[in-house]
Amino acid sequence: MPDGVFVWTRDSDGTYWLGRIAGPLRPADAAAHEAAGLTHVRAAAWLERPFGEHDVPAGVAATFARGGRNFQRTHGDAVERRTAALWSG
C-alpha cells in the first residue's frame, strides 16, 4: 500500500478516525505488540478531528459493521470522494 492511502479506524467508544499512510512497513515495537498483538506497523498522519457514525462514508460504516479486527479495503468511488473531502476539510 503506497504512502498517502487513506485509512480509517475506530476507537473503543466507536468514534471513527481518518488518517493517511506516511511511512514504510516496519516491525512493531514491544509495546504495540503487547497492546494489540501487532507484528508490523506503518506510520500514519491522523486528523485531530474525530468522526461519528453519521459523518463517515456509508461504505466505511458498513465495513466496520461486519465486525472483525482485520485490515480491510473499502471499495467504491463514492467512499473515496467522501473520504478525500473529509480529509481536505
Which residue has better confidence, 19 or 76? 19
Residue 34 is placed in which grid cell? 503487547
Q: What tens digit of pLDDT does each residue of 20-61 get?
A: 999 999 999 999 889 988 899 999 999 999 999 999 999 999
pTM value?
0.87
pLDDT of residue 36: 86
Q: Report residue 25 as a C-alpha cell.
A: 512497513
C-alpha cell at 3: 504512502
Buried b (16+ CB within 10 A) or exposed e, 15-51: ebbbbbbeeeeeeeeeeeeeeeeeeeeeebeeeeeeb
Tens-place pLDDT, residues 16-25 = 999 999 999 9
Domain locations in the chain as residue ranges: 6-88
pLDDT of 76 reads 85
